[in-house]
Structure 1
């Protein structure tokens, strides 16, 4: 891709070739140039003229640094989105402690590496910037069987607050979005064998349905924008009210 200084800002999105990450990358092209880090060989759903791909592990500091430099070569890097994640269930009775720790590390490493790279890039240039970490409602309310994922997401929310406190004085804002059920190919695959999932989601998420990847992308773009200039260290639920819903066996008997 030819290097032109036409964009005012650039962004890095990890795990941005498909799903929620692709929607985030596509939305951010409205605000500048986007570099996606993904293990995929092609951009897939996020293919846009102002998007380019760095293929590799977002948890690898060399890959992350390369993406930051690619973004900077087009326009000043202004925002970083740690979206990449690994979904693999394990429990204390079916896996070894070492295996569980490896799964936790696999997810946490992605966010730590991204934050480390972004903060280093911004501070080296004495520039403000913004980071958004993608978390989950499971950080506060785990789903049975997803212990490594829930543990990693809880740690990522702690990381978000700590980076906000440590580097807020440098003008670096760090926030997170905690997602509920979002309509993606992964949910569609689950729905094909569990047709009851839509009714269950309607009970869990007070708005009555799964969210969309575009709705998540809109919130992420807001947190990276100047409109969120005084928001730092926040964990913003994007879950249709799932995190505040208190299921109760007597609820059905109450009038609505």
Structure 2
């Protein structure tokens, strides 16, 4: 019996880290379905002699109909084996200004796509009996909050809790769930922010970023993609419930005024 191509769904992959992840998976020979609110035009060239290997779904990664369409597309390309919950919302808020309702709305916007995506992937894995893999994208902020970004820290901490709970609940079914906790990564959004600064502010930010990351620099999207590809692969077959920092040592470093 011919083995069907492995297919992965990657959310938030029209650009940035998500695109790098999807491109890495395509290079490995697997199929990819991208979900994003913006079209993933770069997928137009994702084909092989055996036919298309990539497809894009435009829509909200937390919407049930969008997720259903992605599952259907994955079935056309092969068999769903992996799911990457990367879609993100960046909205800062102070609790005393936004209030509990405002903060919870932002938390929901960040958290819902990951919970909904994990559920959709899980349903398909259980239906087919695939020993699937889910990778959730978290942040160093899940453990070390940044002032003014309370909703983001809350949502990412919940995503890491979800990762561990799913690993325990569905590991016995052969389904692995892991997460990557990112430091500062160079993306289009990062570049736009830096380019919008004046010369002095840009230099100050670059010094601070270098200081925060013991490797002395921000990460590259491809470095995240390599780690996610590993977690999805059989090479990580005994890795389950892990939250792997991809942050150049940022989470390991204890900043202190007496450092030498």
TM-score interval (norm. to shorter): over 0.9
SS in 1 for 2:181: strand
Aligned length: 248
> 2:115 is matched with which residue?
112
Query: Which of residues 48, 51, 60 is equivalent to 1:57?
Result: 60
Give ranges in structure 1 of 5+ residues lacking alignment.
Answer: none
Distance 1:146 1:215, change over 3 A: same
1:247 aligns to what SS in structure 2? coil
Where 1:106 maps in the other structure, the secondary structure is helix
Q: Which residue of 2 aligns with 1:237?
A: 245
Which residue of the partner structure matches residue 16 of structure 1? 13
2:182 is matched with: 179
**Shift in Å, 1:92:** 1.1
Report the aligned-residue RMSD: 1.5
1:84 shift after superposition: 0.1
Any conservation in 2 of the 1:26–1:46 contact (CA below 8 Å)?
Answer: no
Matches within 5 A, 1:1-256: 8-31=5-28, 32-44=30-42, 48-49=46-47, 50-192=53-195, 193=197, 194-195=201-202, 196-251=204-259, 254=260
Output the TM-score relative to the length of structure 1: 0.93
Contact preservation (8 Å) 2:10, 2:35: yes
CA distance in 2 between counterparts of 1:166 and 1:6 reads: 28
